Amino acid sequence: MKLPQRYSKAEYEWCLDYKYMGKQCRIGIVTRPWTREEMMAYLDWNAAEEARIEKAVRKDIEINGFPRGPGYYWAQAEKDEEEQRRLYEEL
Domain ranges of the chain: 9-90
Residue 62 has pLDDT above 70, yes or no: yes
SS3 for 67? coil
Helix (H), strand (E) at residue 33: strand 30-33
**CA 86, CA 69: separation in Å to the nearest integer?**
27
Separation of CA 87 from chain center: 15
pLDDT at 56: 84
d(CA 29, CA 10): 29
Which candidate, 14, 11, 47, 75, places its Cα nearest to that of 55?
Answer: 47
| pLDDT score recorded for residue 36 | 92
pLDDT confidence of residue 91: 62
